[in-house]
Structure 1
Amino acid sequence: MAPSSNEVDQKLSRSALIALVIGSMIGSGIFALPASFGHATGVLGTLIAWIIAGTGMLMLAFVFQALSRRRPDLDAGIYAYAKAGFGEYIGFASAAGYWIGCCLADVACLILIKATIGQFLPIFGDGTTPAAIASASLLLWSVHFLVLRGIKNAATLNTIATYAKIIPILLFIGVAFIVLDPDLISQNFWGTEQPGAAAVSSQVRSTMLLTVFVFVGIEGASVYSRYARDRSDIGFATVTGFLSVLCLLVLVTILSYGVLPRRELAGLPTPSMAGVMEAMVGRWGGIFISLALLVSILGNYLSWSLLAAEVLHSAAVNRTMPSFLAVVNKHEVPVGALWLTNCVIQAFVLVTWFAEYAFTVALKMTSAMTLIPYFLVAAYGLKLSYLGNSYRAGERARTVDGIRSAIATLYAMGMLYAGGPTFLLLSSILYAPGTVLFVLAKRERKESVFKPFEAIIFAAITLAACAGVYALAVGAISI
């Protein structure tokens, strides 16, 4: 049966998929890197952190690329791989975790937009004042109705925003190269007054969740694989987008150490890239970067809105989520998933009023929620290569894919360890009630909810959630 003209029109080109990956990854994070890294470590620790993160995430990008070739029948990306590898409830947990991570990423975007405007209009403060929350809510629902008009239109706007935000970042890098002070690089090298491997190791660990956050979005092309004109574009877009963003991230952080002393970098307000630019060229530079940040985050916010709704819809189409989430409108937009997504984002935005460091919490929670789905994708790639499914006998690619998947799996496990128990407990508080969607889907199908192994996993998540709630109640952890 020939595809309809509307279906053909909704297909995305290779360049649009690349822009989706880059647009998803470049957002609020890169503009906050100078202060975030300056607070945590020096030049050496930064280089080590990017080597670890870059290697781990590159391996994950290769896993996504390999899976798009080996399992072309799985066109729902990050969710479908977890389900195929480890069962229905694990697949659901991957979809739910990734979806909540996307929602939290959008919250981080909204906070930073208002915090940036707050530098010029005090009524917006740090992005969590009543005026900021009201305007963030207005923006949230404006984008909601824009996306309802069609994925193709939203993706086109995202592509335009992606190009618009890369230009200021490239300008920042160019100016930083010109004014670079080698003495400052040397001064900031160790990041501590008492150089030593132990001190640097501790510094690197403190940056790990930050590096995860700026790489979240690497799976953008995979999540949207059902819209790709050509399956081969998915892997190409993932790897190309990742390598492009990695170069920008490394240059922004390292060059900043050659502009200001580490202590001054650490004290810069968000967005700290604006402070570095102002130190290089004057006040206009800070304003210019702040405006670029707004364009960047708006594009990033749009990307996350698309990804969040898409992963819910894909899970619903595969009957792991309730059927109302599979409903689409005449523009092929998943309306049920979009409405639920934006209602959850709205609830998170209201909660930021009570959070002391709302942006940092949203940033780290995004990383924690997406690491588990990343781990499951890497583990599925490892399982596929180990069992030899979809590989020819003696095929060399099987060994290569197995090594890459093993490295990606170890990296995701290491990042979960580096994040510590606090964010795993907070993640459980979100995972446990989210299981209601899984229960509803099972009841629609008139099936028993859990298999024995799945019941054990759910019990463990519930216990962790209870421990997290108790820790919040007694003040052992805070938001």
Structure 2
Amino acid sequence: MLVVGSMVGAGVFSLPGRFAQETGVLGALVSWLIAGTGMLMLALVFQALAVRRPELDAGVYAYAKAGFGEYLGFFSAFGYWASACVGNVTYWVLIMSTVGALVPALGDGDTWLALLLSSAGLWGFFLLVRRGVREAATVNRIVTVAKLVPILVFVVLALACFRADVFAANVRGAAATGSLYDQVHGTMLATVFVFLGVEGASVYSRHAARRSDVGQATVLGFLSVFAVFASVTVVSYGLLPADQIAALRQPSMAGVLAAAVGTWGQVLVSIGLVVSVLGAYLAWTLMAAEVLFVAAGDGDMPRFLARTGARDVPVPALLLTSVLSQLMLVVTAFSDDAFDFALDLTSTLGLVPYLLAAGYGVRVARRDRAGPAALLVAGLATAYTAFLVYAAGWTYLLVSSVVYAPATVLFVMARREQGRRLFSPREAVVLAVSAAGAVLGVVALAAGWISL
């Protein structure tokens, strides 16, 4: 439920429009083949590491630290946490955009009224999770089941209304979408966003009764969600021309179903979206706070983040998570497209933790002499995540640097608490690279070379 609940959130409801803006049926199939294979390799890496390194808790962060040292491990923990916080922003933007179809003052989720209402919801969830992790996990299980129903109903209704002639006309996409490579390249960050959360079981591995359950949950959860995501994307091409799907406001799934069955289809998807997004928000808030808490317990974050309340809730970590989400909500109000900006930045921030975890999978497979099959899986996962870093493009890599570099303050605080040397020579090089990227990012934003 954690794996499925983490992955099925805002992204699935935006897939028809996001894909139609970039490609047609052929490009979508190629994209899902690449993304599905790459993410399956990554899921298998998490499965293998859960068994081969059972002493490592908190998944992504712990693997990066064990493989590449404390500073890169810190970056992995911070990047994963920041990705979760920005991802939470997409949920509020999409909720407000959905309601905005009825209340024009909310616009596409990027007006000041939308910002105020989103902020109220954000802090309401903070109070809910603060009541206790067990209560929040129970709500997550219920919501995970509830939110899958309208998505599956969408697929069934889309198949019932499927038009072969429309589907055939959408095979190659619009002429303006460019070559097949360009089309596939343009969809990569969208696929990363919807698959974020595949490591959900690994993050909470310290709570598992058996380590083998972590790996099984990861693979089974991934395969289930992959089938849903690919189906939602492909069947949409049989209902409307690609250019019309691309022009739909988000959540585009609602507009697609409305065209097929009428207004009640849009209402169904809209209700399902609100339930789905709130459930995913809850799951990601839990995971984000857990990463900070475990990192602080290991001495890689300041000690105050390791404190818990009366109900085993890491309140300082939860508070810091809500604060960053609030800041990013304000930033989206100044972006050209609030949802797409938050979605792409979420994906980019999550790539560093994934790349380091996959790289550690390669090292473990070689060190343990696990065989050519295990080494191939880890190698493919690493190559896939490296390709995603390239596909992200300079804009989001520079913006990510602006987010990453200041986080070193937390690392310095932790080192000073322990009376240790702040940076080793290797860590100083990483610091210099991240700082240079942040400076370049700020200059590029100020000069208008890149925009939000």
Measured against the shorter chain, the TM-score band is over 0.9
**Correspondent of 2:215 among 235, 257, 260:** 235
Amino acid at match of 2:24: G
C-alpha distance in 2 between matches for 1:332 and 1:194: 54
C-alpha distance in 2 between matches for 1:453 and 1:224: 30
| Residue aligned with 2:189, SS | helix
Residue 103 of structure 1 corresponds to which residue in structure 2?
A: 85
CA contact (8 A) 1:106 1:304 kept: yes
Residue 434 of structure 1 corresponds to which residue in structure 2?
A: 407
C-alpha distance in 2 between matches for 1:290 and 1:68: 37
**Correspondent of 1:275 among 252, 255, 258:** 255
| Residue aligned with 1:477, SS | coil
**Correspondent of 2:192 among 207, 212, 225:** 212
The CA deviation string for residues 94-143 of structure 1, in whole angstroms up to 9 with x for no partner, is 00011100000001111111111111112222212222111111111111
C-alpha distance in 2 between matches for 1:299 and 1:433: 30
State yes or no: 1:293 paired with 2:254.
Answer: no
The CA deviation string for residues 415-442 of structure 1, in whole angstroms up to 9 with x for no partner, is 1111111111111000000110000000
C-alpha distance in 2 between matches for 1:357 and 1:106: 16
State yes or no: 1:126 paired with 2:146.
Answer: no
Amino acid at match of 2:449: A
Residue 139 of structure 2 corresponds to which residue in structure 1?
A: 157
| Residue aligned with 2:371, SS | helix
**Correspondent of 1:419 among 375, 392, 395:** 392
**Correspondent of 1:452 among 412, 425, 447:** 425
Residue 172 of structure 2 corresponds to which residue in structure 1?
A: 190
Residue 36 of structure 2 corresponds to which residue in structure 1?
A: 54
Amino acid at match of 2:50: S
State yes or no: 1:253 paired with 2:237.
Answer: no
CA contact (8 A) 1:269 1:275 kept: yes
CA contact (8 A) 2:299 2:414 kept: yes
Amino acid at match of 2:147: K
Residue 120 of structure 2 corresponds to which residue in structure 1?
A: 138
C-alpha distance in 1 between matches for 2:209 and 2:255: 42
Amino acid at match of 2:379: A
The number of equivalent residue pairs is 452
Q: Percent identity?
A: 50
C-alpha distance in 2 between matches for 1:251 and 1:353: 32
Amino acid at match of 2:76: S
CA contact (8 A) 1:104 1:366 kept: yes
Residue 441 of structure 2 corresponds to which residue in structure 1?
A: 468
TM-score (norm 1): 0.93
CA contact (8 A) 1:23 1:158 kept: yes
Residue 167 of structure 1 corresponds to which residue in structure 2?
A: 149
State yes or no: 1:404 paired with 2:377.
Answer: yes
Residue 199 of structure 1 corresponds to which residue in structure 2?
A: 179
Structure 2 portions without partners, runs of 5+: none
State yes or no: 1:86 paired with 2:86.
Answer: no
The CA deviation string for residues 397-452 of structure 1, in whole angstroms up to 9 with x for no partner, is 43222111000000000011111111111110000001100000000000011110
The CA deviation string for residues 273-300 of structure 1, in whole angstroms up to 9 with x for no partner, is 0011111111111011111100010001
| Residue aligned with 1:74, SS | coil
C-alpha distance in 2 between matches for 1:194 and 1:350: 34
CA contact (8 A) 1:192 1:199 kept: no
- The offset of 1:194, in angstroms, is 8.8
Residue 178 of structure 1 corresponds to which residue in structure 2?
A: 160
CA contact (8 A) 2:174 2:243 kept: no
C-alpha distance in 1 between matches for 2:21 and 2:72: 37
| Residue aligned with 2:58, SS | coil
Amino acid at match of 1:299: G
Residue 13 of structure 1 corresponds to which residue in structure 2?
A: none
C-alpha distance in 2 between matches for 1:356 and 1:182: 36
C-alpha distance in 2 between matches for 1:233 and 1:386: 24
Residue 242 of structure 2 corresponds to which residue in structure 1?
A: 262
C-alpha distance in 2 between matches for 1:50 and 1:364: 17
C-alpha distance in 1 between matches for 2:34 and 2:346: 19
C-alpha distance in 1 between matches for 2:161 and 2:98: 25
CA contact (8 A) 1:378 1:408 kept: yes
The CA deviation string for residues 183-222 of structure 1, in whole angstroms up to 9 with x for no partner, is 1121100114499xx7111111001111100000111110
Amino acid at match of 2:427: E
C-alpha distance in 2 between matches for 1:106 and 1:228: 25
Residue 357 of structure 2 corresponds to which residue in structure 1?
A: 377
C-alpha distance in 2 between matches for 1:245 and 1:434: 33
C-alpha distance in 1 between matches for 2:218 and 2:89: 24
- The offset of 1:229, in angstroms, is 2.4
- The offset of 1:70, in angstroms, is 0.3
C-alpha distance in 1 between matches for 2:128 and 2:66: 33
C-alpha distance in 1 between matches for 2:159 and 2:108: 31
Residue 9 of structure 1 corresponds to which residue in structure 2?
A: none
CA contact (8 A) 1:32 1:272 kept: yes
State yes or no: 1:244 paired with 2:224.
Answer: yes
Residue 331 of structure 2 corresponds to which residue in structure 1?
A: 351
State yes or no: 1:302 paired with 2:287.
Answer: no
The CA deviation string for residues 151-194 of structure 1, in whole angstroms up to 9 with x for no partner, is 11111111111111100011111111111111112110011449
Residue 64 of structure 1 corresponds to which residue in structure 2?
A: 46
